[in-house]
Structure formats: structure tokens, C-alpha cells
Structure 1
Amino acid sequence: MRSIWKGSVAFGLVNVPVKVYSATEDHDIKFHQVHEKDNGRIRYKRVCEICGEVVEYRDIAKSYESEDGQTVIITDEDIATMPEERSREIEVVEFVPADQIDPLMYDKSYFLEPDSKSSKSYVLLAETLAKTDRVAIVHFALRSKTRLAALRVKEFGKREVMVVHTLLWPDEIRDPDFPELDKKVDIKPAELTMAGQVVESMTDDFHPEAFTDNYRVEMMELIQAKIDGGEAFAVEEQPAADLDETDDVSDLLAKLEASVQARKSGSEDEPAKTAPAKKAAAKKAPAKKAAATKAPAKK
């Protein structure tokens, strides 16, 4: 694994140097978009709506439009001046019982690895969390956003690894406005008893490895059957000059990924010292899913 960020956990007067790694990976099957008529790959151009020119990614700037229609440009230099962006600290704010965190708030998970010759401070914090059965609420800046997160310990074999789960801000959780649930429904005691018996008959310990992504397995079997049946074909490579102006979504995301890796010690991935009030979200277009090459089936 490659670390995505380096910093330290501030635990009282104790400073715990750490490296941060993504704890999960995507195994979804990726598809390319092709022209149904001739199987040609679909390419996209980044075109300026004013002058009509195809714009290279290096020439694209960030802008924010206010509610009254005013637009401002935000540069990398602007972002680098923000105190939150410059910080490299995961600050422990408080310790809480794990059951007080609604699972609906959990977002993404990251592993923390000791980043020093001695792992004593890391082990101290990990064992303290385990012994007190508490979760540390922390905040830091990662990928251009102040993160509220839960820091806990998870056992992997004989190792106790600290894991950070970023949390959604309260205003990022929707209100389930379902009027139908406001209506009174009478449940008979016999119905409740019978439902409880069904639950009891299906109760077991949770073993995630016992479950399989059946859709993925069946899709890979379908793909392999088409290959074995002679339906596969080789895609003709296009000249590099054409690809420069017509990168598809997967090519663009690959470049973005490379940019993040190249700047991981710069302004893109910095943690925070104080957690400011949640700022208004900027308008943004929904992200497009990237197309990628197929991966072998995993059970």
C-alpha cells in the first residue's frame, strides 16, 4: 500500500507520528463506453463554452458561484494560505462511547501506521483506546476539506491497528421526510411475537467472509463466456495526437490520481488544528464514474 498522507495524532501532550492509508478498495467491474455501431471508444473534450477551444487540464482553474450569481476564482496559491490546509495534525477533541456514533455518519475508512523509529506512542494510544473502550473524536484537513472523524482500534490477527473513520457533517445527512410513517399503525401482540420468533430463528454471528458479491461473479462469468465464445475483439490504438484532445473519463481520472500522488506532500492533503463551523457547500457537478479495464472475479 502507498500512504496518502503523513502527519501526527495530537493526544494531550503526546504526539503520535503516523502515515495514513486508504483502508478499502473498489472491486466493482468497470466498463468502457463505446459506439454501438462500430465499437469505437467514446472520448470527451473539455471545451470552453465562451471561445469553443478545447482546454488542457493544466489550464483549468477553480471557480465558485455565489447564490446571487457572483463568481470568484480560487487558485492553488489561495488554498495554500489557509491555516487548515497547512496543518499536519490529527487533533483528538474528545473520547466517547462507540455506540453514541450513528453508523449513518460513517463515510470513509483509513489505516494509521506508526511513522517513527519507535512505535511506543502509537501503541500507547491504541492500548488506551482498547482498554477504556472509547472512540476518539478527531478533526483534521484531508483532500481540501476539514474532516470530523472517529479514531478507534481494530484487531487484525495479533496486531492492534488504529483506524480513522471520517464522519459526515450533520448537514450532509438528509431528513427522511416520509409522511406515511406519521400515520398510526396498530400491531397486534401476536404479530409482534411471531416476528420476534422469525428474528430469533435467523440470529447468528456476523461473518462477512461468508457472503459473496453474486452480481460481480455472474458478470465476470458472462464476460468470460463471451471471450470464450469468440465475441472478443482487439481495440485499434488511436494516434497519441488524437488522444491528447479527446481523453475519455478514465484517462482524465488517471491523470487526476497521478496529480494527487505527486502533490500528496503539498496543498491537497493537509490536516487541521481547529474545526470551524461547517461552511456552505459550493455548487458542483456530480462526478462521472470512470471506465476501467475488467478485473478478475473475487469471491
Structure 2
Amino acid sequence: MNVPVKVYSATEDHDVPLHQVHAADGGRIRYQRTCEVCGQTVAYADIDRAHVDDEGRTVVLTKDDLAALPAERSREIEVVEFVPTDQIDLMLLDRPYYLEPDSTSPKAYVLLRRTLEQADRTAIVRFTLRQKTRLAALRVRGDVLVLQTLLWADEVREAAFPALEDDVEISAKELELAGALVDTYSGDFEPGAFVDEYQAQLRILIDAKIEAGEAFDATAAFADAGEDSGGEIIDLMEALRVSVERSRAARTDTG
């Protein structure tokens, strides 16, 4: 079955963008690619790849060399096998991509989607992306086919912890108490109910510092936020607003 598709990243980064600056004057830090032989700064377009073997010999691989590899020229996503979904170890899951039908008629796309749903199976596929052969799981998410790249088996490290080799005795009472704790916190997982608190607080901190300027003391502001709410930062925005007003008042008095 040939199913033409377009591939799109299924995730996006919402982190507050930060860059490095010189602490003394705020000047932005820039990195340059410098050749250690001639000392010149090299444009990215003029950079090739190289491999150094065990005997110290360097083999330079040009862009044309790499593009000539048969696997690199192929743009096909090859289905290797169909496996029970529960056989895929979650440790192997990597980046997810959405697949969009790339034809005027999505019949083949819908047929594959419904086949996977009916069989309750996940397709294991193989393809080449960015100079690397990749393994991936092809599965259904709603009405869309999702391609999730997988780590190779040898990329997952073994967990060998000496402490776990000792015999540990757990009493029935301890298991009962632990089970009761689990029951207390049990519920249905709703991803939208969770937020990245660090990023949210970072955005508030940036806004507060813009308002107050260099006189703003972040350590004191967050300490006040904890004290005002009995040790819990409940209304961080309000606490920082108060701190900004204090900073303004201090600057006014100084002026």
C-alpha cells in the first residue's frame, strides 16, 4: 500500500527565550566557527563533516558524498511490521510527528488509519531523516496518523543499581498504607491541568523587572510572596506587583 503523506512536527517549544550576555555591560555573547588551521571564521555553508578513525586518519565527507548515500536519497517510510501496541516500551518513544495526506484523495490514508484501528496494532516503520536511519511507531490519534520516532535498543542505558540487588522486606501494613496514599491521589490524567510553573514565574519575573528596572530585587520579591501567603506562592503576580511598587517608591525617594 502506497500512502503519500506530508510530515509535520507535532510539538512546539513555549519556553521563554533567553540568551547569554556579558554580566558587566549586558552585551550579547556571540559564537563564531573558527578554523584551527587558518584561524579564519568559517560560514556554515563552507563546513563539511569528517571522521577520525582509530589510527588518527581524517576522512572528510562533503555534502555531495552524504547526499549520494542510497538511504539519504530515499524519502519513503517503509512499514517493517505490525505489532501489539503494548509491546512498545515507553522508554523508546522519542519525537512525534503528524502525517497529513499528500494527495487529492485521502482514501489510502483513511484505509491505513482504519486498518490500524481495527487491528489494534501499531506499525513499526523505518525511514531516513537528517543523515540517520530511524525507527518509528506509526499509530492513530483521533483522525490523524502519528509517526513517533523510537530510540534504538542500544541507545537506552541499562539501569544497574547495586542498592536494588539487596533483599528488601516490605510488610503488608506498609503496602496497605502506600496503597491508601495512591487511592487518595488517584484520578484521570488531564494534561491541560498542568503548567510549567518555572516558565510562568519566569515570564512574571521578566515583566516585573521591566517595570521596576535594575532596582528590582527578585530574591526579596519571591521571599515576600512566600511569607505573605503562609509559605505558599499563591498569587505571585500580586506579590511581585507590590514589590515593583516598593522599588518605584525607593527610587523616587532616592531621586
Q: Specify if TM > 0.5.
A: yes
CA–CA distance in structure 2, aligned partners of residues 69 and 178 of structure 1: 36
Query: Map of 1:258-269 to 2, 5 A cutoff?
Result: none
Quote the residue 2:220 is aligned against.
Answer: none
Secondary structure in 1 matching 2:109: helix
Percent identical residues: 57
1:63 maps onto 2:46 in alignment: no
Query: Map of 1:267-286 to 2, 5 A cutoff?
Result: none
Secondary structure in 2 matching 1:192: helix
The CA deviation at 1:231 is: 4.2
Amino acid across the alignment from 2:2: N
| Structure 1 unmatched ranges of 5 or more | 1-13, 233-299
1:137 maps onto 2:120 in alignment: no
Q: Higher relative contact order at CA 8 Å, sep ≥6: structure 1 or structure 2?
A: 1
CA–CA distance in structure 1, aligned partners of residues 162 and 52 of structure 2: 34
From the two aligned structures, give the one with the greater helix fraction. 2
Structural RMSD (CA): 1.3
Amino acid across the alignment from 2:191: P
| Structure 2 unmatched ranges of 5 or more | 216-255
The CA deviation at 1:45 is: 2.0
Query: Map of 1:97-246 to 2, 5 A cutoff?
Result: 97-155=84-142, 160-231=143-214
CA–CA distance in structure 2, aligned partners of residues 69 and 187 of structure 1: 55
CA–CA distance in structure 1, aligned partners of residues 166 and 176 of structure 2: 22
Quote the residue 1:296 is aligned against.
Answer: none
Quote the residue 1:246 is aligned against.
Answer: none
Secondary structure in 2 matching 1:185: coil
TM-score normalised by the chain length of structure 2: 0.81
Bigger-Rg structure (1/2): 2
The CA deviation at 1:70 is: 2.0
Amino acid across the alignment from 1:69: G
The one-character-per-residue Cα deviations of 1:51-92 (angstroms, maximum 9, x if unpaired) are 222222222111112233221011111112211111121111
Aligned counterpart for 1:44 among listed residues 31, 43, 48: 31
Secondary structure in 2 matching 1:35: coil
Amino acid across the alignment from 2:164: L
CA–CA distance in structure 1, aligned partners of residues 63 and 35 of structure 2: 21
CA–CA distance in structure 2, aligned partners of residues 51 and 79 of structure 1: 25
TM superposition outliers: structure 1 runs of 4+ over 6 Å: none
CA–CA distance in structure 2, aligned partners of residues 213 and 104 of structure 1: 22
Amino acid across the alignment from 2:188: D
Quote the residue 1:286 is aligned against.
Answer: none
Secondary structure in 2 matching 1:16: coil
| Aligned pairs, number | 215
Amino acid across the alignment from 2:189: F
CA–CA distance in structure 2, aligned partners of residues 154 and 114 of structure 1: 14
The one-character-per-residue Cα deviations of 1:5-38 (angstroms, maximum 9, x if unpaired) are xxxxxxxxx1100000000011122211111111
The CA deviation at 1:170 is: 0.8
Secondary structure in 1 matching 2:2: strand
CA–CA distance in structure 2, aligned partners of residues 67 and 22 of structure 1: 38
Amino acid across the alignment from 1:54: T
Quote the residue 1:254 is aligned against.
Answer: none
Secondary structure in 1 matching 2:213: coil
CA–CA distance in structure 1, aligned partners of residues 127 and 38 of structure 2: 40
The one-character-per-residue Cα deviations of 1:201-256 (angstroms, maximum 9, x if unpaired) are 21111100011111111000000001111349xxxxxxxxxxxxxxxxxxxxxxxx
CA–CA distance in structure 2, aligned partners of residues 176 and 66 of structure 1: 31
Amino acid across the alignment from 2:203: M
